Amino acid sequence: MMEDIFNRLKRLFKNGNILAKLIFINAGVFILIRLSDVFITLFNIPSLSALPQLQLPSSIELFLHRPWTIITYMFTHFDFWHIGFNMLLLYGFGRIFLLFLNLRQMCGVYLLGGIAGGMLYILAYNLVPYFSEDAPAKLMGASASVMAIVFAVSFYRKEYEIHLVLLGRLKLIYIALAVFLVDLLSITSSNAGGHIAHIGGALLGIGFACRLLGRGKDMTAPLNRLLDRIINLGKRKPKSKSTFRRAETKYDFNARRNAEIAEMDSILDKVKQSGYSSLSAEEKKKLFDSSKKL
Over residues 24-77, the pLDDT tens digits come to 999 999 999 999 999 999 988 887 888 999 999 999 999 999 999 999 999 999
pLDDT at 289 over 80: no
Q: Could you write out the DSSP letters of every residue in the chain?
A: -HHHHHHHHHHHHHHS-HHHHHHHHHHHHHHHHHHHHHHHHHHT-GGG-SHHHHSEES-HHHHHH-TTHHHHGGG---SHHHHHHHHHHHHHHHHHHHHHS-HHHHHHHHHHHHHHHHHHHHHHHHHSHHHHTSPP-EE-SSHHHHHHHHHHHHHHSTT-EEEETTTEEEEHHHHHHHHHHHHHHTTTSTTHHHHHHHHHHHHHHHHHHHHHHHT---TTHHHHHHHHHHHHHTSPPPPP-----PPPPHHHHHHHHHHHHHHHHHHHHHHHHH-GGGS-HHHHHHHHHHHHH-
Domain boundary assignment for the chain: 11-226, 252-293
Over residues 91-139, the pLDDT tens digits come to 999 999 999 999 999 999 999 999 999 999 999 999 998 887 767 889 9
89 CB burial (10 A radius; 0-12, 13-18, 19+): middle
Over residues 254-282, the pLDDT tens digits come to 666 666 777 777 777 777 777 777 777 77
pLDDT at 12 over 90: no
Q: What whole-number percentage of the chain has pLDDT above 70?
A: 84
Q: How far is CA 23 from CA 84, 86, 273, 288, in A?
A: 10, 9, 74, 57
Over residues 230-241, the pLDDT tens digits come to 888 866 666 655
pLDDT at 246 over 70: no
CATH topology assigned to domain 11-226: Rhomboid-like fold (1.20.1540)
